[in-house]
Amino acid sequence: MTTGPEVRRFEREFARYIGAKHAVAVNSGTAALHLALLSLGLKEGDEVIVPTMTFTATAEVALYFKAKPVLVDCRTDTLNMDPELIERAVTRRTRAVIPVHFGGHPCDMDPILAVAERRGLAVIEDAAHAPPSRYGRKMVGTLGDMGCFSFHAVKPVTTGEGGMLVTNDPARAAKARLLSLHGISKDAWKRYNAAGSWRYEVITAGYKYNMTDIAAAIGLCQLAKCEASWRIRESHAERYTRAFRELPEIEAPTVLPAIQHAWHLYVIRLNLERLSISRDAFIERLRELNIGTSVHFIPLHLQPYYRKSFRLRPEDFPRATAASNRNISLPIYPGLRKSDVEYVIDSVSRIVKQNRR
């Protein structure tokens, strides 16, 4: 029922699929990020560079150490963090940078890795919106020092709740594994089966971050379907994009060359200067038509905690601020039928045509 052989099998299969040497299964993507920073020895007063266009987990893990998350603005096309802004944000206290592959579109990793190497920073990829994103020939999550995946209920691979830390560094993997289950010595889960021993040692103070065999069994089934599910999402995305090219009021997502987009999200941006309706009213109209949407994301610098704690203003991050007022995430998932996609397209088109300036 708890951590056992299915977890170990899931770790091996996931590492093989991603192309990493080591994988450590945990109970959330947030736990994976926390363990990644723990493996670096992050301490109070250190700084970690993160995008403002992300979910709070990316930044809050730095706060667990009383370290400072330093926010940077996004690119206007992919909404990923702008590599040119990273080096400007580096100080003598900076220890790491956490690029987030927004919506499943890989960040521009070559310049990020170049800055990190030049300034002696660790790169921890927040790959919560992947797999199966690829940057060139490599899977997202294997480009930096560590990659952190989320298996939350809505993610491309899900275990209900869960996560995975991947790395090619055996020492970091061993430390993450030790810390993931109370700091208890190797193979602590074997204490509860016939092959195990009652004797155990607490090597360090750890956390209760272990994944269960139940979750891992779900994950193994999901992993086997990952590529097939991606092909369905990609097909839906292509259909959306073809349709929205006919509407100047709608800006479809950008896909840069030499990457594979996971299509965890399909985020349109409204050209509000061409419309007489606000983004929020647009979302409400879609809801009335039984179409569920969301906004990814309300940037961190606009959230009360970060705004007040770090004295941030909307104009400090103009690109993310502008995007956050125009973004709508449309439905995209493997269970979505082609007729559903056409209904969404027709509904968006109808609202646009009814509200053109």
Q: Which residue is catalytic, options 138, 155, 186, 353? A: 155
Q: Are 69 and 98 within 8 A, CB to CB?
A: no
Q: How far is CA 247 from the centre of its chain?
A: 29
Give the whole-angstrom CA distance, residue 14 versus residue 12.
6
Helix (H/G/I), strand (E/B), else coil: 149:
strand
Give the whole-angstrom CA distance, residue 147 versus residue 53.
18
Which residue in 297, 273, 293, 275 sits closest to 284, CA to CA? 293
Cβ neighbour number for residue 64 with a 10 Å cutoff? 13
- b/e sequence 301-312, b meaning 16+ C-beta within 10 Å: bbbeebbeeeeb
List the strands of the sheet with 163-167, edge to edge: 22-26, 163-167, 146-150, 122-126, 94-97, 47-51, 68-72
Helix (H/G/I), strand (E/B), else coil: 178:
helix
29-40 and 56-63 helices, crossing angle to 10°: 40
Q: Are 144 and 96 within 8 A, CB to CB?
A: no
The question of whether 155 is a catalytic residue gets the answer yes
Cβ neighbour number for residue 347 with a 10 Å cutoff? 17
Q: Are 317 and 71 within 8 A, CB to CB?
A: yes
Positions annotated as catalytic residues are: 155
